[in-house]
């Protein structure tokens, strides 16, 4: 990436340049989608929005963000809560821990249960550990009232694991691992595809029995943190359709790993109509066959001609399902997910294949 993008980090003009001129910046740090054939302009269209990238207040180290009490982040701040989405995003085998800070007294606007809106001052973090080494901690902060008002940046851990400093331009092969830290504009290729921006701290992702050290939906209800709590008296508040564990695992995996791009609100949806994000709407959870995932993929012909298959999910036949062909492909022009992974998730591959094999 040319120096112009690296040097003037943090200034609005550079960020605009960096996001408008992704192509000119060539092989971006942490941008494994270069040359995938996906329309970068479409995915990047929202990168240049609103006040997020204009925020000059990038805390220099991870401790400065408020996550922890010490520079090495061994002590998490008392007002920060851990949580884990029940279905995780695959990050080439990295182990991840997630945290949230909510401003005291504020509630999450849950009037649209599928698209929560967070109060100003909300912070979220995700720590990535690869080969037992902390490589990065991602951070974002709600800076204003609009959906676009979020500030995203990752912090790179030093070799001694004593400090993590802001890495707005990303970093390849962080700390000697094969893990790439995304540059700031890359965060938004995924997070901007869902109106609320927050992807894993959501009704469906938290509607399960989490370990007592971690927040789940029950906790949020009992702590009065939701403006419009679910109406059911106890969890699960949004029961999943009756289905086998494999079917549920497949739906959940696609929700967490593909749904941020493949959902009705994303720019990707303007290219391909399949929907892999689940919804809390009762009609969309009534049966397996009623989920958008099932309705838009099973025995539905692909719209893209890059892969030859009769259907996105060809019932009973994973080998002739565009979803599996694209998931397993090493050709970056057709591989899915479109960005941010270099290693095939073999467990998920087995789950998706098993699911498809057993569809009558």
Taking the least distance from each CB to ligand HEC, the nearer of 232 and 266 is 266
Taking the least distance from each CB to ligand HEC, the nearer of 264 and 282 is 264
Q: Is 34 in contact with 333 (CB distance < 8 Å)? A: no
Taking the least distance from each CB to ligand HEC, the nearer of 221 and 263 is 263
Q: Which of residues 322-351 bind ligand HEC (CB under 6 A)?
A: 322-323, 326-327, 336-340
- Going through 19-122 in order, the beta strands assigned E by DSSP cover 81-83, 95-101
**Residue 48 interacts with ligand HEC (CB under 6 A): yes or no:** no
From residue 219, alpha-carbon distances to 17, 83, 93, 194, 197 in Å are: 43, 11, 29, 24, 22
Q: Is 22 in contact with 40 (CB distance < 8 Å)? A: yes
Within 10 angstroms of residue 138's Cβ, the number of other Cβ atoms is 20
**Residue 206 interacts with ligand HEC (CB under 6 A): yes or no:** no
CB of 333 to ligand HEC, least distance (A): 7
**d(C-alpha 303, C-alpha 322), whole Å:** 10
**d(C-alpha 176, C-alpha 70), whole Å:** 24
**Residue 25 interacts with ligand HEC (CB under 6 A): yes or no:** no
**Residue 359 interacts with ligand HEC (CB under 6 A): yes or no:** no
Q: Which of 16, 17, 20, 88 binds ligand HEC (CB under 6 A)?
A: 88
**d(C-alpha 259, C-alpha 161), whole Å:** 33
The DSSP result for 211-230, as a single string, is: -TTEE-HHHHHHTT-BSS--
Taking the least distance from each CB to ligand HEC, the nearer of 340 and 359 is 340
> What 3-state class would DSSP assign to 235?
coil
**Residue 306 interacts with ligand HEC (CB under 6 A): yes or no:** yes
Q: Which of 101, 116, 152, 237 binds ligand HEC (CB under 6 A)?
A: 152
**Residue 199 interacts with ligand HEC (CB under 6 A): yes or no:** yes
Among residues 256, 198, 272, 309, the alpha carbon closest in space to that of 38 is found at 272
CB of 289 to ligand HEC, least distance (A): 19
Across the strands, what pairs with 136? 128, 156
**Residue 111 interacts with ligand HEC (CB under 6 A): yes or no:** no
Angle between helices 12-20 and 184-191 (to 10 degrees): 60
Q: At 157, phi and psi to the nearest 5?
A: -80, 140
Q: At 43, phi and psi to the nearest 5?
A: -65, -35
Q: Which of 312, 314, 351, 359 binds ligand HEC (CB under 6 A)?
A: 312
Q: Which of residues 224-263 bind ligand HEC (CB under 6 A)?
A: 256-258, 260-262
Taking the least distance from each CB to ligand HEC, the nearer of 120 and 232 is 120
Taking the least distance from each CB to ligand HEC, the nearer of 68 and 234 is 68
**Residue 102 interacts with ligand HEC (CB under 6 A): yes or no:** no
Is the bond into 20 cis (omega within 30 degrees of 0)?
no
Taking the least distance from each CB to ligand HEC, the nearer of 151 and 238 is 151
Give residues in contact with ligand HEC (CB under 6 A): 37-38, 85, 88-89, 98, 124-126, 138-140, 152-154, 182, 186-187, 189-191, 198-201, 256-258, 260-262, 268, 271-272, 274, 302-304, 306, 312, 322-323, 326-327, 336-340
């Amino acid at each position: 990436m040319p120096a112009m993008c690296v040097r003037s980090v943090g200034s609005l003009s550079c960020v605009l340049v960096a996001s408008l001129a992704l192509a000119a910046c060539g092989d971006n740090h942490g941008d494994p989608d270069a040359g995938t054939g996906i329309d970068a302009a479409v995915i990047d269209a929202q990168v240049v929005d609103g006040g997020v990238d204009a925020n000059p207040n990038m805390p220099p180290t991870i401790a400065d963000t408020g996550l922890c009490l010490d520079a090495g982040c061994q002590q998490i701040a008392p007002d920060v809560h851990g949580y884990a989405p029940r279905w995780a995003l695959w990050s080439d085998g990295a182990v991840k821990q997630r945290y949230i800070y909510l401003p005291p007294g504020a509630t999450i606007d849950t009037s649209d249960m599928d698209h929560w809106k967070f109060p100003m001052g909300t912070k979220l973090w995700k720590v990535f550990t690869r080969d037992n080494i902390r490589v990065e901690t991602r951070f974002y902060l709600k800076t204003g009232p609009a959906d676009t008002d979020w500030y995203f940046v990752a912090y790179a851990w030093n070799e001694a694991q004593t400090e993590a400093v802001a890495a707005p331009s990303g970093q390849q092969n962080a700390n000697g691992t094969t893990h790439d830290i995304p540059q700031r504009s890359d965060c938004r290729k995924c997070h901007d595809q869902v109106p609320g921006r927050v992807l894993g701290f959501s009704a469906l992702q938290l509607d399960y029995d989490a370990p007592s050290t971690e927040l789940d939906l029950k906790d949020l209800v009992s702590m009065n943190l939701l403006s419009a709590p679910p109406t059911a008296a106890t969890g699960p508040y949004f029961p999943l359709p009756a289905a086998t564990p494999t079917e549920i695992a497949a739906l959940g995996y696609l929700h967490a790993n593909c749904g941020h791009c493949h959902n009705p609100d994303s720019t990707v949806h303007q290219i391909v109509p399949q929907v892999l994000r689940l919804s809390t709407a009762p009609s969309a959870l009534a049966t397996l066959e009623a989920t958008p995932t099932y309705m838009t993929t099973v025995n539905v012909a692909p719209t893209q001609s890059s892969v030859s298959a009769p259907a996105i999910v060809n019932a009973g036949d994973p080998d002739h399902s565009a979803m599996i062909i694209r998931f397993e492909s090493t050709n970056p022009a057709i591989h899915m997910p479109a960005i941010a992974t270099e290693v095939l998730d073999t467990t998920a591959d087995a789950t998706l294949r098993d699911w498809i094999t057993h569809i009558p």
